[in-house]
Structure 1
Amino acid sequence: MLAWAGNFLTSAMAMREIPPILFTALRFALLALPLVWLVKRPAPGQWPRLIAVCLCIGVLHFGLSFTALKLAGDLSSPAIVMQSYVPMTTLLAWWVLGERFAWRTGLAIAVSFAGVLVLGFDPMVLDHPMALVLMLVSAAFLAIGTVLMKGLRGMDVFSQQGWTAIFSVLPLLAISTWLEPGAIARLPDASWVAWSGALYAAFVSSLLGHGLYYVLVQRYPVAQVTPWLLLVPVLAIGLGIAFWGDRPGPRLLLGGAMVLGGVLLIALRALSKARPAPLAEDL
């Protein structure tokens, strides 16, 4: 969570010089260099699912989220809105995987989505409405990719990370060439700050942060793992206030509290269901 929160700040700094789609492609190109030698072939019949996961997470989620972060101009609102991924994932896990949840979890999901609506009326967010829309769409693709990931078998962390990077670079470069003309030619002029942001995104956020997250998603129910994302926006808001000049308004704080409160309720419900029952001799 700490690695991901720092990525909001370092990426925002890097995207002062590198456009968001090209920055995403650069992130995955750097990540692919060491991992291309470690990837393993997926089990027979799993290529379509693997490619779908890579495109949902690598191209669609990251491409849209970095674009939203660039458009927003602050760190707080994108970090909070991204947490709508948690209730989205819980709903998808119920629909696709059959993971059930009680009415309290359903209420928490409703509170989270209502919080996004409240947050959307904050002046800082209203100045950049497309950033809010893109971040919500980005969260939806991350939720889809996470649920699809549950069906992958025999894939270790390095293979999953490596395939995501390999399958994402060329589509992202093609999109950047189309939407960000001339950006690739200007890349050699980027400063060490921009390159440091790309290196952080590749090796700290992706390799460390997502590597650990993939392991957790493979071993535990989706609804048990995703609520811990609650720590990311809290840390990112602190970094935004301290280093980026963020000044969250009352609507953003209220909406953020609703979103994060809903996520917290989902977390508490998931943890209570995951806690083993006491043994008879302990009663």
Structure 2
Amino acid sequence: MALRDFALLILMCLVWAFNNILSKYVVSGLEVPPLFYAAARFAILTLVLIPFLRPAPRPIWRLVVTALLMGGGNFALMFVGLKMSTPSAVSVVFQLGLPMTVLLSVLMLHERIGLWRGFGIGLTFAGVVIVIFDPHGLEISTGLLLVAAATFMSSLGAVMTKQIEGMRPLTFQAWVGFSSVWPLAALSAWLEPGQVDIALHAGWPFLGALLFSALIVSLFAHTSYVMLLQKYEANLISALTLMTPLITIGMGVVLLGDPFGPRMIIGSALAISGVLVIALRRNQIMAMLMAVRSRLK
């Protein structure tokens, strides 16, 4: 890989990791309601990408359902879970996305797992269970369960995109924003009274975080990822993007004081190792599926 492209990949991972920390700050530090934050992000994305709504691939119903799974449903659960959890733990649980996508591809696309990918799936699930399980209270974190549910919705959407023909990346991004903003805005109005006043009170920090999330993360990082996928093997790029959870954990510990004890160390190591095994062993179909899924980080 060229040094310039490697530097771009590192910058892309830094953007994704910093956005995890920034989102935690918005929903917990600024107390902006998570559903409203997600709705506002998709509203900006929709406004920017309106010209790309047409032509839309058919069937429309499948496109809308897929967009909702990977957009509104995924981010709503993710932000609510993030409000209740640490960014470090969330970044580890989010690694469930790849093994979930593999398992769903077996059910829906008749993929074969194979011994090594099965081993990687087991490692990932074991690592995540260690992270989300609280041995002191014998309970599982509700927030991290919501994050796990978010990754399932995103993975299901990724598999469904394989069944949509003629989909352009920016067109899909536009439909994700357009399909997600309406239900999220309605849910926020119902469940989060006073959300507009809270956002206005948060002021410029909230606006800056919102623009960063919608434009820098969704457009810059996405475009960079697609460009790198076009130049290099998907397995290589996916493996290198495992820097994102590692950077997130480091930022979470340094900037937010996230706990980082033996349980987090062991769980993170197992989960990331499992994802690495899956990434290095998956076939062409899985490479295409994860290329689609990664566009909505």
Q: Does the Cα contact within 8 Å between 1:177 and 1:184 map onto a contact in 2?
A: no
Q: How does 1:141-180 map to 2 (within 5 A)?
A: 141-180=153-192
Cα gap change, 1:24 to 1:124, in 2 (>3 Å): farther
Code of the residue aligned with 2:174 in structure 1: it is G
**Alpha-carbon distance between aligned partners in 2 of 1:159 and 1:79, rounded to the nearest angstrom:** 27
CA deviations on 1:158-200 (whole Å, 9 max, x unpaired) are 2111111111111001111122111123322222111111111
Does residue 68 (structure 1) correspond to residue 81 (structure 2)? The answer is yes
For 2:54, which of 29, 36, 40 is the aligned residue?
40
Does residue 112 (structure 1) correspond to residue 112 (structure 2)? The answer is no
CA deviations on 1:197-236 (whole Å, 9 max, x unpaired) are 1111101211223455578899999988755552221111
Structure 1 stretches of at least 4 aligned residues deviating more than 6 Å after TM superposition: 123-128, 214-225, 271-274
Gaps of 5+ in 1: 275-283
Shift of the alpha carbon at 1:21? Answer: 0.7
Shift of the alpha carbon at 1:3? Answer: 2.5
Match of 1:277 in 2: none
The CA RMSD over aligned residues, in Å, is: 3.0
| TM-score (structure 1 length as normaliser) | 0.86
Q: Which moved more, 1:107-116 or 1:92-101?
A: 92-101
Match of 1:232 in 2: 244
Q: Does the Cα contact within 8 Å between 1:6 and 1:236 map onto a contact in 2?
A: yes
| TM-score (structure 2 length as normaliser) | 0.82
Shift of the alpha carbon at 1:249? Answer: 1.4
Q: Does the Cα contact within 8 Å between 2:133 and 2:141 map onto a contact in 1?
A: no
CA deviations on 1:61-114 (whole Å, 9 max, x unpaired) are 011001111111x21000100111110011112222233231111011011111
**Alpha-carbon distance between aligned partners in 1 of 2:110 and 2:21, rounded to the nearest angstrom:** 37
Match of 2:260 in 1: 248
Code of the residue aligned with 2:206 in structure 1: it is A
**Alpha-carbon distance between aligned partners in 1 of 2:47 and 2:220, rounded to the nearest angstrom:** 15
For 2:110, which of 88, 93, 98 is the aligned residue?
98
Gaps of 5+ in 2: 1-12, 287-297
